[in-house]
A and B are shown apart, each in its own frame.
Chain A
């Protein structure tokens, strides 16, 4: 359904070109939930912003993104506009800045249906009200008439989720949907996403640095590091037996209240490489305990690594 092939994204800057995404290929099947994890700057958000046609103007893109048989990278804005919001929707991290502040919740939700489904305003508002109830907003009729600033963070994120589902999209891209929320609200939103997935059967690309959220929702996990996919495996496999040392280290660093308290807090030494640098070998080599001379010269390719897992590592676990 969504097929990304050899995607490269570079950003032109004053003096240099900075590569954010380097040769990324991945696919989503209908109804599948794929978790995309990695640190900030790993390229996980840019990959999906490219699919939405939302990259900055200084971006240089190559490769291909096909969605329901359509090439999105070559699509004209008018064609993209028919897809975006209807078949392909996005939920952003910050529910305050991604809702329009000067329109009521009801108007901005109904507008989606007026534009994409050709409904009348009356019919659209009725459907928007139904949707607010579906995403379990109490007192939905009153909320329809309110502005985003009058809602709490958790409620705004429910509105965002409801809005993304109005046209029953085939794919929802959720970019850090819970990162701006408090712990007790966070759990509610994850539960809501799981319930909506059962009801609407859409595919989800869940972009997150929160392994707990990914664990709760994803069927498959893609791990990105320095603009590349370093591991891709079924969720159960990746949490039980990570193949790439970076994945293993990420899991080790994830805060875990269920595990015993450690004397030293786990971390990965060093920092991710500067995206302006071109490294010949594995980008993780400088921080990796398993790295040898080969890792610093020869970049490992993403290959089959036991079962359905793929890893880009010369020395997988």
Chain B
């Protein structure tokens, strides 16, 4: 399958070595597989330290993967040489969490937006380059008068608009958004999210949208993937996941975000990713855990159309 604009992640694992060889490496992402279709938004939720950002970085080869494949339009990004990878990166862009730290403080907005054009379209005339920058500023809701300003002169919301505009300059087919609004005030978040959703609709690009905020993920996503200690534990179409979450962890997350929903408050905290429990990684916090859960890692099973869950006991869980 090599259709246009499809990202396939197959068995991707990322590990970080420990200081001494005596310790096993930290498994930040473990055997994760999923697909993002053209124009689709896949939401990715999980707690801090669950490996969401590492997964995003591994897809773009900003951190090396230990095993697995990342197929972009059928080509494996992980085995590509640097020149070919750079050509593909035009299609694959990222918006980072910290809006100010992700912009070069010594570059004006026009420089920041012009750089992707210099890299990917070096033969553009000066006039065409200026026109593209002006058009993007307008689309990102930034007035033309801001083009010669520096990042420190902007508010957080404006910086994030610049970060999004930069990512959009090369007309990507897949945009990875890593907690794009969590550094912003609640009253500003909607502005930025609506901008992303509009850009996606106008250009038909796919998005991998990482966030710990379930209400936000529900807002933007077509499908949602739930991460726990580097493992994919549930993936489902949005409405199916929010109407009938299956994994006990997903249910607990939803109970925490909406106190009037059934579900119980979790005891304890996630295990250290340095010493994950054997078997199901969630079993030490799970009230439904049995001996079986310690024995083997649960595999993803399809429980309804497109709704997959990795839990040994999903059949026995209450509705």
Listed in ascending order, the chain A residues whose CB lies under 8 Å from chain B are: 39-40, 152-155, 182-188, 191, 209, 212, 216, 249-250, 253-258, 261-262, 264-269, 271
Minimum CB distance partner of A246 in chain B: B187
Per-residue contact bits, chain B 39-65, to A (CB 8 Å; 1 contact, 0 not): 000000001100000000000000000
Listed in ascending order, the chain B residues whose CB lies under 8 Å from chain A are: 47-48, 155, 157-158, 185-191, 193-194, 197, 212-216, 218-219, 242, 252-261, 265-266, 269, 272
Give the distance to chain A from B142, nearest Cβ to Cβ, in Å.
Answer: 12
Known contacts A255-B213, A269-B191, A271-B188; is-contact A261 B269 (Cβ 8 Å)? no
Known contacts A183-B212, A183-B257, A253-B187; is-contact A271 B269 (Cβ 8 Å)? no
The prevalent SS among residues of B at the interface is helix
**Contact between A262 and B214 (Cβ–Cβ < 8 Å)?**
no
Give the distance to chain A from B250, nearest Cβ to Cβ, in Å.
Answer: 11
A310 to B253 alpha-carbon distance, docked (Å): 36
For B219, give its contact among A39, A182, A253, A262 (CB under 8 Å): A262
Could you say which residues of chain A place their CB within 8 Å of the CB of B190? 253, 264-268
Could you say which residues of chain A place their CB within 8 Å of the CB of B194? 264-265, 267
> Could you list some 10 contacts between A and B, CB below 8 A?
A185-B269, A187-B259, A187-B266, A216-B259, A253-B187, A253-B189, A255-B215, A257-B254, A257-B261, A265-B194
**Contact between A253 and B186 (Cβ–Cβ < 8 Å)?**
yes
Could you say which residues of chain B place their CB within 8 Å of the CB of A187? 255-256, 259, 265-266
**Contact between A271 and B157 (Cβ–Cβ < 8 Å)?**
yes
**Contact between B193 and A265 (Cβ–Cβ < 8 Å)?**
yes
**Contact between A250 and B257 (Cβ–Cβ < 8 Å)?**
no
Give the distance to chain B from A143, nearest Cβ to Cβ, in Å.
Answer: 13
Minimum CB distance partner of B260 in chain A: A258
**Contact between A256 and B215 (Cβ–Cβ < 8 Å)?**
yes
A216 to B188 alpha-carbon distance, docked (Å): 24
For A254, give its contact among B155, B186, B212, B242 (CB under 8 Å): B186
Minimum CB distance partner of A264 in chain B: B194
Could you say which residues of chain A place their CB within 8 Å of the CB of B155? 271
**Contact between A257 and B215 (Cβ–Cβ < 8 Å)?**
yes
**Contact between A257 and B269 (Cβ–Cβ < 8 Å)?**
no
Minimum CB distance partner of B192 in chain A: A267
A187 to B255 alpha-carbon distance, docked (Å): 9
A201 to B194 alpha-carbon distance, docked (Å): 44
For B266, give its contact among A155, A184, A268, A271 (CB under 8 Å): A184
A119 to B196 alpha-carbon distance, docked (Å): 58
Could you say which residues of chain B place their CB within 8 Å of the CB of A153? 48
Could you say which residues of chain B place their CB within 8 Å of the CB of A258? 258, 260-261
Could you say which residues of chain B place their CB within 8 Å of the CB of A254? 186
Could you say which residues of chain B place their CB within 8 Å of the CB of A182? 47-48, 212
Known contacts A184-B266, A257-B218; is-contact A267 B256 (Cβ 8 Å)? no
Given contacts A183-B257, A255-B214, A271-B188, 18 further A-B contacts (CB under 8 A): A39-B186, A155-B269, A182-B212, A183-B214, A184-B252, A191-B265, A209-B185, A250-B186, A255-B213, A257-B258, A257-B261, A258-B260, A264-B190, A265-B193, A266-B190, A267-B188, A269-B191, A271-B155
**Contact between B214 and A250 (Cβ–Cβ < 8 Å)?**
no
A103 to B93 alpha-carbon distance, docked (Å): 44
**Contact between A154 and B186 (Cβ–Cβ < 8 Å)?**
no
Could you say which residues of chain A place their CB within 8 Å of the CB of B212? 182-183
A278 to B269 alpha-carbon distance, docked (Å): 47
A186 to B265 alpha-carbon distance, docked (Å): 10
